Structure formats: C-alpha cells, structure tokens
C-alpha cells in the first residue's frame, strides 16, 4: 500500500472549473492547476492507489450514469481515504479529488444536465451530503459503516430512493439514527421510504434527536414503518 499526500483546491481554484471542463471538452493542465493546489493542513495521506484501481475498474465495467457505480465505489473510497472528520470537513479536499484526481469518474457517473447541477458534483461539499460526487460516497459510508462492516452502506446504495430520501434530511447527520433508519428501511418500497422519512422527521419536532440511542431510534422507526406500509 502506498500512501499519497492529500491536497486541496483553493477557493480561487474553483474559478478554473468552467462549462467545457465539466462537459469533458476541455482539460486542466498541471500548469494551470499548480497555482491553486496546496497540501492539506496537517499533511494527511491516503491510499489513493486503491481508489485509482477501483475507479479504473468502474470506468471500464459500468455504463455511463449507472447508479450502481455508487455501491461499487463507496467502500473502496472510504477505506482508501482513512481520514479524520476534521480533514473530511475541508471542502478543498473534495474539490481536489473531483476536479484534479477523478474528473472522468464524476462525468462518467453524472450526466451533464445543467451547469448548476454539474458544478455541484465537482464543487459541492461541506454539510450538504448530496452534493460533491466523491464527498457524498465517503460521507454516506462514514455514517453507515460499523468498523469493517459495510453491509448497511451496501444496502443504502442498492436503493437510490433511500440515498435521496434519507441523506437529504438533517437527522442523517446523527449516526445512531441514520444507521437505524437505513437498517429498518432496507427492502422497503419507495413509497414506504418516502413516508417513513417524512414522518420520522415530523416526529423530531417533539423528540430530541440526540436523546435517542440506536436501539430507541430503531424502535421508533420500526413503528413508523409498520404504519407507513
């Protein structure tokens, strides 16, 4: 395993990302990028070789815009990027990964529908779990994995309704609740997922989210799932 030093794209560097780059008609040269790429504070490293080969495999084996790409990559990206939340909270890291390291992957997974939507896939990040193409995979794996067990992560990515409905809600930031939600909803229909996440969110106007243990969250969600079927 080779550890590679991680970098970040500076705020000014975001200006390099224009429409033609996002559409794949133009590339950014090392010379253009140099000025805007800097080492991450604290010099964290990661096993990018592992991610490189997983990405290469996906590009060769999966058709464009196939949502199954998410499930094929999430665990590999999370294992390869063994970083702290503090490091992962720097948007510049995700911008560097999307714009400099893996732009082909972003274009392969996400169809160019509008400049605004594609810009989010390259330059989103922060607390929005559903923005940057790579940040999204890492964070969902971070919130749903249990040490070496990625079964909940796999179940989530096997169902895009779950990805959309669960991770767009604020409760998804609280690990015990999001794990309970994903476990309880595995195998449920889109309608039940939609209804359950909406009703659970509504219940949180009275129930304090962080007061719930994973078992209590499961109990509450199980009841809502039964009522939603």
Partner 1 sequence: MPEEAVQAVFPENERSEPPAKLYVTIRCHETIYRDREVISETHTTPGEYDVSIEVSKHTVRGTIELRPYLVRTEARSGKGPNGYADQKNFRVASGTLYYVVVDRHEEEERAAIDGERVRFSQNAHLPDGNKLYYLDFRNESRPKLWINSDHPRIAELLQTRGSVGAEARMRDVILDQVSYGVWVQLLVRAGSAVDVEGDVEHEWQEMVLQTFARNLYETSDVSEATHRLRDDLSDPQTLPHVMQRIDSELQEYIDPREQLIHLMEEGLQI
Interface residues with partner 1 (CB under 8 A) are: 12, 15, 84-86, 88-90, 126-127, 129, 139, 143, 170, 173-175, 201-202, 204-212, 216, 220
Nearer to partner 1, 102 or 139 (CB): 139
C-beta closer to partner 1: residue 24 or 89: 89
SS3 8: strand
Q: To the nearest whole angstrom, how small is the minimum distance from the Cβ of residue 146 to partner 1? A: 16
For the chain, what is the largest distance between any 2 Cα atoms, rounded to a whole number of angstroms? Answer: 59
Cβ atoms 24, 59 nearer than 8 A:
no
Question: What is the Cα 7 distance to its own chain's centre?
Answer: 18
Q: How far is the CB of 62 from partner 1 (least distance, A)?
A: 27
- Minimum Å gap between C-beta 164 and partner 1 is 13
Nearest distance from C-beta of residue 205 to partner 1, angstroms: 6
**DSSP secondary structure letter of residue 149:** B
Residue 161 Cα distances to 2, 18, 186, 194, 198, angstroms: 36, 30, 11, 8, 13
Coil/strand/helix, residue 188: coil
C-beta of 31 vs 210, nearer to partner 1: 210
Cβ proximity to partner 1, 59 vs 203, nearer residue: 203
CB closer to partner 1 out of 72 and 99: 99
Q: In a 3-state reduction of DSSP, which class is residue 5?
A: strand
Question: Measured from the CB of residue 222, what is the shortest distance to partner 1 in angstroms?
Answer: 15
Tell me the three state secondary structure of residue 1.
coil
């Amino acid at each position: 395993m080779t550890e590679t030093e991680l970098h970040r794209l500076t705020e000014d560097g975001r200006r390099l990302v224009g429409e033609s780059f996002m559409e794949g008609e133009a590339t950014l040269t090392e010379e253009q990028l140099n000025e805007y790429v800097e080492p991450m504070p604290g010099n964290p490293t990661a096993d990018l070789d592992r991610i490189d080969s997983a990405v290469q495999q996906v590009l060769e084996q999966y058709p464009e815009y196939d949502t199954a790409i998410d499930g094929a990559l999430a665990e590999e990206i999370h294992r390869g990027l063994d970083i702290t939340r503090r490091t992962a909270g720097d948007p510049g890291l995700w911008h560097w990964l999307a714009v400099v390291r893996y732009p082909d992957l972003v274009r392969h997974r996400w169809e160019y529908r509008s400049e605004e939507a594609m810009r989010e896939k390259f330059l989103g990040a922060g607390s929005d779990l559903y923005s940057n193409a790579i940040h999204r995979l890492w964070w969902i794996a971070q919130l749903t994995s249990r040490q070496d067990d990625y079964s909940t992560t796999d179940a989530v990515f096997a169902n895009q309704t779950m990805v959309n409905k669960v991770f767009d809600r604020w409760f998804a930031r609280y690990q015990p609740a999001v794990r309970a939600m994903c476990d309880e909803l595995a195998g449920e229909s889109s309608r039940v997922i939609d209804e359950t996440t909406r009703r659970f969110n509504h219940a949180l106007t009275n129930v304090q989210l962080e007061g719930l243990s994973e078992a209590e969250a499961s109990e509450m969600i199980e009841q809502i799932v039964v009522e939603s079927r």
